Amino acid sequence: MAPLDALPDAMLLARARRAYEMGRISAAMLRSVWLVPVLGLSLLCCSDPTWSLASGMGLIAAVTCCLWWGQAWGRGVWPGLIAGLVPMIAPLVMQMGGHCCSMGDRCYLYPGVCILAGVAGGVALALIAPRPREGHGVPFFAASLIAGLAGAVGCLVYGLIGVAGMVLGLLAGAAPILVTRRTRG
């Protein structure tokens, strides 16, 4: 290895840039690792672990990428996780609680829980996420994406109908508040 004095400036800049980016991605991965236990819980509760694993890995990847990219993308991570927390946890807690439906092969309680949890997440998203105008909409988009992925991890307990209900709930919870915020300025 050549001493630093012998290296051209371009090589030094490339090495510094690579070290900087490796530090940023390492920090983003460390801050995303706490999502792994939630993914494990979802795998235990979900009837189809393939979908649960895919949505959980998508959530971890999205959080890691947004934190790594930083700035406008990074500002949407924590509001998105907070907004997605209720739709992520509520169906898992209900499933772990041993709820037993007596309606034959269909249970209509799970989609209802996903819808209501989605509404709560949508209200939280509209209240704490950066305004859609800020940063050309990137922070709000990142928060919405992460909230949706986080909610999907929990609502996949009931399958795609649970996820669809959660998405409708997110929209129904966020839309009135966002419209009100927009009219006020």
Q: Find, among 38, 66, 90, 47, the residue nearest to 138 by Cα.
A: 66
pLDDT beneath 50, residues of the chain = 103
pLDDT at 177: 87
Residue whose entry in the numeric block shows the structure tokens 């690792």: 33
pLDDT at 8: 79
pLDDT at 22: 92
Q: Rounded to two decimals, what is the model's pTM?
A: 0.82
pLDDT at 44: 80
State the angle between helix axes of 49-69 and 138-155 in degrees (0 to 180), rounded to the nearest 10.
Answer: 160
pLDDT at 123: 94
In angstroms, rounded to a whole number, what is the distance separating the alpha carbons of residues 165 and 114?
Answer: 6
pLDDT at 169: 93
Backbone angles phi, psi at 131, to 5 degrees: -60, 145
